[in-house]
Structure 1
Amino acid sequence: MKLRMDHRKANPKALNTMMKLETFVKESGLDPILYELIKIRASQINGCAFCIDMHVKDTLKMGVSEQKIYLLTAWREAPCYTEKERAVLELTEALTLLSEKGLPDSVYQNVRSHFNEQEFVTLVMAINTINGWNRLGVATGMFPGCFDQ
């Protein structure tokens, strides 16, 4: 495999902007494990192998069970997720696949039963951030280990 380009060198200001988004979410108070589940699920949908690899490794380091990570693609059928996690995963899928159905009111209401308005906006920003990273990764041809040389 070959990297199309190193976005970090091609446009450092763009990288800096993405890092600001990442910092905002990380400093927001969002549960770091929940954020990693968002990152993995969105990356699976978007087909970003680089991000899936990175965030699975990060999640394992945080002590999340392998079962919870392996079953993420089938979270609806897996009993290991809390209702709060399920609400966030459903929101992640809806916003990542926005053109398919938009954000159904039932998904919004379910998330809001677990999160206040400020937290909801933070979740949206977290989902936006990983979707941005995924698009950058896929567009530039990133793959696991591409920056290890």
Structure 2
Amino acid sequence: METRVNLSKSDPTAYTALLAMNEAASAAADAAGIDPKLRELLKIRASQLNGCSYCLRMHTRDALKLGESTDRLSVVAAWADSEYFSAVERAALALCESITLVSVDHVPRGVYTMASAVLTNEQISAVSWLSAAINMFNRIAITSRYPVKP
């Protein structure tokens, strides 16, 4: 694997600001009642879409520590075709996917309507901020080529 500038270390002020934003997003998720396991599923799904092996490994481990099942983890990439996820989880996953792929579909009305049917405004905001944060972390890890060794 090639060596690249480690963005989290090359500009610690910017990275510290991202960490603070992530903490604020997590606090908002707590206040909005977003289950910690769902937060990890959102991070996993965005990381799958972005191809971030570093974040995938980290958040899969975190989800397992929280008690997430291996069955749900194994199908989160195909959540829409399974019956493992509740309406709230499905809405949050759809919103997270759409935010992650914003250049493809610009968070279409249908996704937002589905989310607003089952999520409160606070939950939509929290899912959106969590999605923005993991997407930033994915981009930093991928660009920096964080090593992922067994």
Q: Same fold (TM over 0.5)?
A: yes
Q: Which runs of 5+ in 2 are unaligned?
A: none
| Greater percentage in helix | 2
- Where does residue 19 of structure 1 map in the other structure? 19
Report the Cα offset of residue 31 of structure 1. 2.0
- Aligned residues: CA RMSD: 1.5
- CA deviation map 1:7-64 (0-9, x unaligned): 2321111110111111112211132111111100000000100000000000001000
Instruction: Indicate if the aligned counterparts of 2:8 and 2:140 stay in contact, CA closer than 8 A.
Output: no
Match of 1:107 in 2: 111
1:39 matched to 2:37? The reply is no
Supply the AA of the counterpart residue of 2:126: T
Could you tell me how far apart the structure 1 residues matched to 2:9 and 2:42 are? 27
Structure 1 regions of 5+ residues with no counterpart? none
Moved more, 55-64 or 103-112: 103-112
- How much identity, in percent, do the aligned residues show? 31
* Deviating more after overlay: 18-27 vs 51-60: 18-27
Q: TM-score normalised to the size of structure 1?
A: 0.91
Contact 1:95-1:103 at 8 Å conserved across structures:
yes
CA distance in 1, matches of 2:88, 2:123: 12
- State the TM-score, normalizing by the size of structure 2: 0.91
**Corresponding residue number in structure 1 for 2:125:** 121
Give 1:73-92 correspondences, 5 Å limit.
73-92=77-96
Match of 2:9 in 1: 9
Aligned-partner SS, 1:27: helix
1:68 is matched with 72
Between the two proteins, the alignment pairs up a number of residues equal to: 146
Deviations 1:69-91 (Å, cap 9, x if unpaired)? 01111111111111111111111
Return the offset for 1:3: 4.2
Amino acid at match of 1:114: V
List structure 1 segments (4+ residues) > 6 angstroms apart after TM superposition.
Answer: none
